[in-house]
Chains A and B, each alone.
Chain A
Amino acid sequence: MTATLGHSSILIALLFAAWGIISPILGSRGNHQRYSAFTRLAILAQFVLVTLAASSLIYALVTTDFSIRYVAFNTTRATPIYYRVTGLWGALEGSLLLWEWILIIFSGLVAWIYRDRQRETMPWVLMVFSIVSAFFLGVIAFVSNPFETISPVPPDGRGLNPLLEDANMMTHPPLLYTGFVGLMVPYAFAMAALIRGKLDEAWVIATRRWTITAWFFLTAGNLVGAWWSYHVLGWGGYWAWDPVENAAFMPWLPATAFLHSIQVQERRRMLKAWNLSLIIIAFSLTIFGTFLTRSGILSSIHAFSSGPVGGVFLVFLSFVLLGSFGLLAFRADLLKGQPELDSMVSRESAFLLNNIVLVSALFTIFLGTIFPLLSEAIAGTQVSVGAPYFNSVTVPLFLLLVFLMGVGPMIAWRRASWDNLKRNFLWPAAGSLLAGVALFVWKVRDFLPLLGFTLLAFVALTIVYDTALALRARRRTAGEGMIRGLVTLARRNQRRYGGLVVHLGVVLVILGIAGSMTYSVEREATMNLKEHLNIGRYLIQFEGLKGSQQPTHFRVEGLFRVFHQGDEWGVLSPALKFFPAQQSPVGRAVHRSTISDDLYLILSGFSELDKNQATLKVMVRPLVVWIWIGGFVIALGSLLAILPLGKVTPERT
């Protein structure tokens, strides 16, 4: 019953999607107004039907309706209710349905928000939504159907992969999908502009907020994924340059580039073709990421079970790439006659350079990700590309990017005068050099980390210094104190200050990454009862093993008493969890964070329970906690940039 309801909703939604594609074309030759309404209606109908389908799958999961194959494979009677709900995106079929659901929610929102605006453009925007939606609906309906039934009905289900039974399962996938899908909005507006041949700044301005929103979700999705990896997977890291991690990160790079270069287009009417290309690439990469995760062409820990879905996605990816770039090539004549750069020392050239660096980073990461394929196709040899490649090629690029992050927001448009440079950069540059020297004297002696920390200090100082100057001006003109002044500044220019707060967040994230990349220490030891080991400022003493039967698994904990510079911190107990259906145990690492470093304990093995001997892996990873703090700062900054806090009336003079 539920299965029939879900599947037929998908089929009917597919019909509406087809209608949503045809209707604008008919409208362009006949009664525009009426067909516009039809196009909107098609989106609305898809929204209702897909919501119905997704709700029926959630209902089936919650009520453990094992007559549906997907439910039987991804939940059990013992599964707690929230993991039954997250089962919606626990495997291939359901994850595509979630994708489609978010996609159509976004489409519905756009259709509703712009119901009275952009009358000429909207039908085409909605058509692009319907095309993407039709593809996903087609896949869900015919290739990877989550509503497929199973007979005989099994008495109990198989359950989620235990690694997915984690609170982050509720955040990471939906955030990331929202980021991916969010990029579809600027993409659709760009396509509509290309279709209509109206390539002015309108599409850029209309989608600015959507782009920032998508960027924020993309950033949050990646950071939460890193956090999940760090605290659950139990290897002490948060990023492994795995193909699927790269797939999630790659759209972020052109999206970030786009976010900056559209400001150049807004201000200076430059870079039109470039911006169109960037958003096409960003959107294509979201499809590429989905393809990579679901096709199994590269080995990865994240891979879904593969099947015919991969081929279908590749066809769609080809359609998106060839169609979008083909259209761009066709319209390229309209993009001529743009203003030139006035000077190399200007904000637009800083942004342009930032774009080049981001796209270079994208290229190197893309190359590294598909290199195993390339090598096998051309040379016939199998290779794997790992973290050393990615770190060595991306670190210099990201350092350059950090430098530009300090320069970009403060340098003048068009042509920076010597005064402008001196005013904005003299003190921050001097301050950061001083910080660099201090760090060197203290103990940072390696070139790259020293350069990195100095540049981070530079960015932070440019922001603080600029804000301080602005605050001083507020105090002089309006007599406002620091807090009042900050509030006024932020509300007067939400986008700028939102952006600066995001930059501060990024500084913190990079600080955490740089610290933990370069100064981590690690020890592994097999310990008998009451034995201890020293690492950094910590002393760890083994207090025994403890086994316990949990509802879904058997758990073996190692108890370790931790002392930090002589203070006792209590007992930490990393564990190994033995699930009946899994061949190898799932580790449960534990860590304690301080603002200067994290202590990270992994139980890597033990002897018989009664012999009380355990092998422990300990890591001390400096500054990791700043990655997560930086994430919160980025979230705050993004909110400040997006939220309509209302205009502040300009000061009367």
Chain B
Amino acid sequence: MAWRRLFITVLLIAPVLWLLAFGFTRDARYITSPLLAKEAAPFTVTLFDGRKVSLNDLRGKAVFLNFWASWCTPCRAEAKDLEADLSAEGGEHVGVAGGGGRSPLR
């Protein structure tokens, strides 16, 4: 009788432990996006100089859409580098800055 209860106890607890152990096989911070391998949603943004850019205009190019904030100093440095690298590869870098600046910039 006691052995049967013991068996049931183990049977109940084991799945929980197994599930927790399963957690080690994955990286909790790595979250795949449901947008992967789907067509990007079209958008149009206004640049600082008043021109407009829409995704359709950039068809055929690799587009890097970067969201950042105007007060973020490292982001500014990064924007320059991204710009340079992507131009060299024939791609396009569109930065959308939030924070203090109301208008998106390129």
Contacts and interface: CB of A to CB of B under 8 A. Distances in A.
Report, as a range, how many residues of chain A touch the other chain: 35 or more
A376 B26 contact: yes
Contacts of A607: 70-71, 99-101
A431 interface: no
A317 interface: yes
Contact of A606 (B24, B29, B31, B71): B71
A299 B98 CA distance: 26
Contacts of A374: 19
Given A526-B102, A614-B100, A296 B69 contact: no
Contact of A332 (B5, B26, B99): B5
Interface in B1-60: 1-2, 5-6, 8-10, 13, 16-17, 19-24, 26, 28-29, 31-32
Contact of B13 (A310, A321, A583): A321
Given A370-B19, A613-B100, A585 B71 contact: yes
B69 A297 contact: no
Given A296-B28, A382-B31, A322 B9 contact: yes
B19 A615 contact: no
B5 to A, nearest CB: 4
B74 interface: yes
B105 to A, nearest CB: 13
A297 B74 CA distance: 30
A570 B98 CA distance: 29
Contacts, number: 93
B30 to A, nearest CB: 9
A151 interface: no
B9 A297 contact: no
Interface stretch (A20-28, A100-108, A323-331, A394-402): A323-331
A608 B17 contact: no
A322 B10 CA distance: 7
Contact of A373 (B6, B22, B101, B102): B22
Contacts of A384: 31
With a 10 A CB-CB cut-off, give which of B1, B8, B24, B98 has the most chain A CB atoms: B24
Identify the interface centre among A297, A606, A608: most chain B CB within 10 Å of its CB.
A297
B71 A329 contact: no
B72 interface: yes
B24 A605 contact: no
Given A299-B28, A382-B32, A291 B5 contact: no
A340 interface: no
Nearest to B32: A382
A549 interface: no
Contacts of B16: 321
Given A325-B13, A526-B102, A605-B99, A297 B20 contact: yes
A615 B101 CA distance: 10
Given A297-B20, A314-B21, A318-B17, A584 B72 contact: yes
A298 interface: yes
B100 A608 contact: yes
B6 A326 contact: yes
Contacts of B69: 605
A231 B22 CA distance: 36
Contacts of A314: 17, 20-21, 24
A326 B9 contact: yes
A584 B2 CA distance: 58
Interface in B65-84: 69-72, 74
Contact of B1 (A328, A333, A611): A333
Nearest to B74: A583
B24 A333 contact: no
A536 interface: no
State the 9 A-B residue pairs at the shortest beta-carbon distance, nearest first: A297-B23, A607-B100, A605-B99, A329-B5, A299-B28, A329-B9, A325-B9, A329-B6, A606-B100
Interface of B: 1-2, 5-6, 8-10, 13, 16-17, 19-24, 26, 28-29, 31-32, 69-72, 74, 98-102
Interface of A: 291, 295-299, 310-311, 314, 317-318, 321-322, 325-326, 328-330, 332-333, 370, 372-374, 376-377, 382, 384, 526, 556, 576, 583-585, 604-608, 611, 613-615
9 contacts: A296-B29, A297-B23, A297-B26, A298-B23, A318-B17, A330-B6, A382-B32, A526-B100, A604-B99
